[in-house]
Amino acid sequence: MIAAPINGKKLSPELFLRLRDFIYDKSGIFFPENKLYLLEGRLLNRLNDLGMQSFNEYVNHVMGYSNQAEELTRIYNLVTINETYFFRFPRQLEVFSKNLLPDLLKSKSQTANSRIKIWSAAASSGEELFSLAMLIKDGLGSRLENWDINLKGTDISKSILEHAKKAEYGNNSFRGYENKQYKEKYFESIGGRLKVKDDIRDMVEFDYLNLNDVSAIRQNRNLDFIFCRNVLIYFDKEMKQRVIDAFYDQLNRGGYLLLGETESLHGINSKFKVEHFAGTFVYQKA
Ligand SMILES: C[S@@+](CC[C@H](N)C(=O)[O-])C[C@H]1O[C@@H](n2cnc3c(N)ncnc32)[C@H](O)[C@@H]1O
């Protein structure tokens, strides 16, 4: 018997608008009109898994009160782009470990404050937060025990967070990064993959957080660094402003916001002070 073609199920422009507005309302992730086929493609398998015959049926299912939370979780897992790798944007990380962190440690030790809070706000599978942990451990050496350093990574995709918690990576996670010393020091080989060693894993924690939920952002208080890299591109201007305003409030005075290599706050927020370094810049709460 020949199976019915799955591509017989189409997301009409009207249904696309209903669905994308709903996803935007819940997550801030925005699909412009030219992304109709992308959304259709990502959700088609889910439709088939549910045995549904049309997108109309699926959209009603998503919006139905009883299925909403579970189905949205599945949608986020399917539509988010989790592209990340170890030591991404090395120049910025170098500025973090050689300039920003040492200066912060110095000013904190003058006030006998030993607490440092760092948040990776779109952590994906964890490479970003683990890179920070490795840089901190390397930079502080035996002084690490004098500090209470809190490294937290959050993401909207629960499936990608499971990956982060497992802390096992293939070659793809090391693209753009060829530091053998780090690999030997902080990873162990398991069945052809590399697993982050426990001393680094013990420094970090991962949790779910939807950046569209400002009250959830506000649970993260007294932050010294927020890394929010390569996620703002998925939001529209209003959402970006909401998120960045909330970040500003949650940072300590003198705290830093670090964005992705091609991102800026131009036209979004003018409260932050820009601090320039050769090859990069960072935002500081003055
Ligand atoms: C391209 S990855 C960036 C990962 C890492 N920060 C980096 O720069 O390598 C973007 C991540 O943002 C997450 N994301 C998208 N919308 C989000 C939202 N509303 N709240 C929290 N995370 C979100 C996605 O699940 C994805 O893991």
Tell me if 54 is assigned to some domain: yes
Residue nearest to atom 24 of ligand 1 (CA): 80
Reading phi first (left if > 0) and then psi (alpha if -120 to 50, else beta), residue 216 is in alpha
Whether residue 1 lies inside any domain: the answer is no
Model confidence at 70: pLDDT above 90: yes
Q: Are residues 192 and 278 in the same domain?
A: yes
Q: Which residues pair with 207 in a beta bridge?
A: 154
- The residue segments making up the domain with residue 22 are 6-79
Residue-wise pLDDT for 224-253, tens only, equals 999 999 999 999 999 999 999 999 999 999
Residue 114 covered by a domain: yes
* Atom 9, ligand 1: residue with shortest CA distance: 84
Average pLDDT score over the chain: 94
pLDDT at 7: 53
Q: Is 13 exposed, middle or buried (0-12, 13-18, 19+ CB in 10 A)?
A: exposed
Atom of ligand 1 nearest to the CA of 83: 1
CATH of the domain at 50: 1.10.155.10
> How far is the centre of ligand 1, averaged over its atoms, from the C-alpha of 234 (Å)?
9
Q: Does any domain span residue 255?
A: yes
Domains: count for the chain: 2
The whole-number average pLDDT for the span 196-218 is 98
User: Residue 243 and residue 247: Cα distance in Å, rounded?
Assistant: 6
Q: Which residues is 275 bridged to in the sheet?
A: 282
Confidence of residue 4 (pLDDT cuts 50, 70, 90): very low
Model pTM score: 0.94
Residue 144 shares a structural domain with residue 119: yes
Residue 237: other Cβ atoms inside 10 A: 11
The CATH number that applies at residue 161 is 3.40.50.150
Mutational pocket test of ligand 1: of 91, 124, 152, the residue with most ligand atoms within 8 Å of the beta carbon: 124
Instruction: Answer whether residue 84 is part of any domain.
Output: no
Clarify whether residues 20 and 158 are in a common domain: no
User: In a 3-state reduction of DSSP, which class is residue 273?
Assistant: strand
Average pLDDT over residues 162-173: 96
Residues 49-71 have a mean pLDDT of 92
CA distances from 225 to 77, 192, 260 (A): 27, 34, 14
pLDDT at 8 over 70: no
151 and 242 co-located in one domain: yes
Domain boundary among 59, 79, 99: 79
pLDDT per residue as tens digits for the range 101-123: 999 999 999 999 999 999 999 99
pLDDT confidence band for 135 (50 / 70 / 90):
very high
* % pLDDT > 70, the chain: 97
In tens, the pLDDT along 41-52 reads 999 999 999 999
Looking at the domain assignment, is residue 85 inside a domain? Answer: no
Query: In angstroms, what is the span from residue 101 Cα to ligand 1's centroid?
Result: 24
Distance 163 CA to ligand 1 centre (A): 14
Q: Are residues 137 and 209 in the same domain?
A: yes
Least confident of 4-8, 88-92, 276-280: 4-8
Q: Which of 246, 208, 235, 244 is nearest to 24 (CA)?
A: 235
Q: What is the percent of the chain with per-residue pLDDT over 90, rounded to a whole number?
A: 92
Domain boundary among 79, 98, 128: 79
- Pocket around ligand 1: residues whose beta carbon is below 6 Å from it? 27-29, 80-84, 88, 122, 124, 128, 155-157, 160, 209-212, 229-231, 234, 260
Q: CA dihedral defined by 65, 160, 250, 270, rounded to 10 degrees?
A: -100
pLDDT above 80 (res 191): yes
